Amino acid sequence: MLKPGPFNPDEWEIKKTHARLGVEAIEEALQGEENHVPLSFLHIAMDIAHSHHEKWDGSGYLDGIGGEVIPLPARLMAVADVFDALISKHVYKPAMLIDEAAKIIMSGQGSHFDPEIVAAFQTHLDGFWQIAARYGDD
């Protein structure tokens, strides 16, 4: 993830394993439910970890599912994850201005992202920016 520049095809395949690894880590945590520890919220986290790279049009990964088949929490996280990636500085790119990032999110409406979630994002863009400013890296 810290490589400057684009991934080659083998590196891209390795990068895509992070979603499955996240699911496996959460599955391990869920083993605590056997001890009657209330961890039901982790089922939602598992949906997010597994499906946050799916796309509305079905072209994403891990499963290539699309539309409302993608769990709602993962559809929400898809927008938040891309927005955060765009406005954050990385070793391979500078931070993007919020207006530019918002245009990219909005251009993905109906292809990358759930159209209703993009509409909500657009309506509440000021709130997204306030959260990013408060919790962003210095």
Contact between 86 and 104 (Cβ < 8 Å)? yes
pTM score of the predicted model? 0.83
| CATH code given to domain 9-135 | 1.10.3210.10
For residue 121, the model assigns a pLDDT of 97
Amino acid, single-letter form, for residue 137? D
Give the burial string for 54-65 (b: 16+ CB within 10 Å, else e): bbbeeebebeeb
Domain spans of the chain, in order of start: 9-135
Q: Is residue 33's pLDDT more than 80?
A: no
Distance CA 107, CA 96 (A): 16
71-97 confidence digits (pLDDT tens): 999 999 999 999 999 999 988 889 999
For residue 1, the model assigns a pLDDT of 65
Q: What stretches of 1-132 adopt beta strand conformation (E)? A: none
Average pLDDT over the chain reads 89
Amino acid, single-letter form, for residue 26? I
